[in-house]
Amino acid sequence: MAEFRALHRYARISPRKVNDVCRVIRGLRGDEAMVLLSGGHNRRTGTVRTRAAAFVAKVLQSALANARENGDADADEVFVSEAVSGRAPDKHLRRMRARSRGTGVTVYRSSCHIRVIVRTKGEDAAESGTGLK
C-alpha cells in the first residue's frame, strides 16, 4: 500500500475551522473528497464550501497529484487516510491594538499546518493493518 502526502505550512486560518473540514473528508476516496470540497455549500447535496475547505482542497489536490505522478494511481484508486491540522506558531502581525491608559498590544493571528495523506487500496489485509498476520 503506497502512501502519498502533502503539507501546507503556516496556513493563515484557525486549526479548529480546518479540522471540521478534515473530519468530513477522512476515509473518502480521492475523487469523492474533491467533489465534496469543490461544490457550493448545500445541505441537500452535502457539499462543503467554506474558507477552510479551499485550503484543504488545495492540499488534497497536491496529494492526489503526488499519487498520480509518483505512484501512477488515479484519484478513484486512492482514499484519504489522514487529514489533520495542527496549530502552527503564532505569527505577529505588525499591527498594534489600542488598550487602556495609552498602551497597545501586538495583534496575534492563529495559523495552522494542514497535512493530507492518501493511500492506495491494498490487496492484502495484513498489509493494511485490518487483519491478522
CATH value at residue 109: 3.90.470.10
In a domain, residue 128? The reply is no
How much is the pLDDT for 123?
Answer: 46
Euclidean distance between CA atoms 98 and 53, whole angstroms: 33
In a domain, residue 89? The reply is yes
How much is the pLDDT for 132?
Answer: 39
How much is the pLDDT for 61?
Answer: 94
In a domain, residue 130? The reply is no
Domain holding 52, by residue range, is: 3-123
Q: Minimal CA–CA distance to 75: which of 35, 122, 26?
A: 35
How much is the pLDDT for 133?
Answer: 36
**Grid cell of 28 as nine digits:** 473518502
* Ranges of the chain whose pLDDT falls below 50: 123-133
How much is the pLDDT for 43?
Answer: 57
**Grid cell of 98 as nine digits:** 489600542
In a domain, residue 132? The reply is no
Burial of residue 36, with CB atoms counted within 10 A of its CB: 0-12 exposed, 13-18 middle, 19 or more buried? buried
How much is the pLDDT for 74?
Answer: 83
In a domain, residue 131? The reply is no
In a domain, residue 21? The reply is yes
In a domain, residue 74? The reply is yes
How much is the pLDDT for 19?
Answer: 94
Instruction: Give the total number of structural domains in the chain.
Output: 1
User: What are the backbone angles phi and psi of residue 100, rounded to the nearest 5°?
Assistant: -70, 155
Q: What is the largest CA-CA distance in the chain?
A: 69
In a domain, residue 129? The reply is no
User: What are the backbone angles phi and psi of residue 36, rounded to the nearest 5°?
Assistant: -65, -40
Q: What is the pTM of this model?
A: 0.80
